[in-house]
């Protein structure tokens, strides 16, 4: 699957997060020196710190996962922070990739940054075809600028910067904070506490919105494939197929069943649902990679819950 020929240096920004940790699990089988960067190691919003880091590591490849991220309500309530921090992080990473002659930089976007009003399924050509949903527009515009920034570098300086666009990610080592997390880790934590206190498992919203979820271990494999084997500089969606799209209600039921607490789910409809659907096509991925076996959501959620319970005292929450 991987075609790296010589031992190279690879820098993974956001390397202590969920996807970075999934890549770390695989590093013994991949022939390069990996440097997993966390926010405590370097402030990527500071250019001088970022430049100093690149000068020390001298990476040949960069997987750029670092971002200021959060769930629906963090995106809605902290728009200046979401926009400014992401713009600074992305600008400094790309600038240093160019200045230090990085062979390839793989940058991570998200399908949540696509236009709100659009025909489905979404494909890679539609990213800039209209405004994003207003619930996450600050984050979305910052990430869209990352895609254009890569394009500008490629066109002006013949760099090899490519953007991957995963659908909703979940997995072990996630952020389980009840306020700032994404939907699956938030529900995993909430159901855990509800059962512990013998209260209702309350899900914000109607549960009707539809999402495609990709397990972090699967995404790690695909990102490494892009770094090693994907020849194009065009952005590419990394996602399960359209048939694997599920509702938030279905996900909540899966989680509750694993906890043996499904009789206690309640949906609080006074909360916003956010964007109803973001259905993405993985046609380009399958055409380039051939077959790929994705982890079923029931299996991925089961493993995520087991990890969360085992690491409850130390995980991000």
Q: Tell me the catalytic residues.
A: 139
DSSP letter at 24 equals: H
Dig out the tokens for 252 from the structure.
Answer: 């909540």
Residue 64: strand pairing partners: 13, 107
Output the CA–CA distances (angstroms, integers) from residue 146 to 13, 60, 174, 267, in the order listed.
15, 20, 23, 36
The CA distance from 91 to 17, in Å, is 20
Whether 137 and 210 have beta carbons less than 8 Å apart is answered as no
Whether 250 and 136 have beta carbons less than 8 Å apart is answered as no
The CA distance from 57 to 317, in Å, is 31
DSSP character string of 100-150: TT-SEEEEE--GGGSBSS--SSB-GGGTTSSPBPTTSHHHHHHHHHHHHHH
């Amino acid at each position: 699957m991987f075609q790296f020929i010589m031992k190279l240096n690879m820098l993974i920004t956001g390397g202590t997060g969920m996807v970075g940790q999934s890549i770390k699990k695989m590093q013994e089988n991949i022939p390069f020196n990996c440097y997993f960067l966390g926010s405590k190691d370097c402030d990527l919003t500071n250019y001088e710190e970022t430049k100093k880091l690149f000068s020390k590591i001298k990476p040949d490849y960069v997987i750029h996962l670092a971002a200021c991220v959060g769930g629906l309500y963090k995106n809605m309530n902290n728009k200046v922070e979401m926009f400014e921090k992401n713009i600074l992080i992305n600008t400094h990473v790309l600038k240093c990739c160019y200045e230090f002659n990085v062979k390839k930089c793989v940058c991570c976007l998200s399908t949540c940054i696509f236009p709100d009003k659009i025909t489905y399924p979404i494909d890679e050509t539609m990213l800039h075809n209209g405004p994003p949903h207003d619930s996450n527009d600050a984050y979305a515009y910052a990430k869209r600028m990352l895609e254009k920034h890569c394009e500008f570098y490629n066109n002006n300086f013949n760099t090899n910067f490519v953007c991957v666009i995963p659908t909703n990610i979940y997995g072990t080592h996630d952020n389980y904070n009840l306020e700032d997390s994404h939907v699956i880790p938030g529900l995993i934590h909430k159901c855990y506490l509800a059962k512990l206190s013998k209260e209702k498992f309350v899900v914000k919203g109607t549960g009707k919105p539809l999402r495609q979820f990709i397990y972090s271990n699967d995404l790690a494999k695909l990102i490494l494939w892009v770094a090693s084997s994907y020849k194009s500089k065009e952005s590419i969606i990394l996602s399960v197929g359209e048939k694997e799209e599920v509702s938030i209600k279905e996900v909540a039921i899966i989680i509750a069943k694993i906890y043996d607490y499904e009789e206690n789910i309640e949906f609080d409809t006074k909360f916003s649902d956010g964007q109803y659907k973001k259905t993405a096509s993985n046609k380009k991925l399958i055409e380039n990679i051939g077959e790929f076996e994705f982890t079923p959501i029931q299996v991925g959620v089961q493993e995520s819950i087991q990890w969360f319970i085992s690491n409850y005292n130390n995980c991000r929450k």
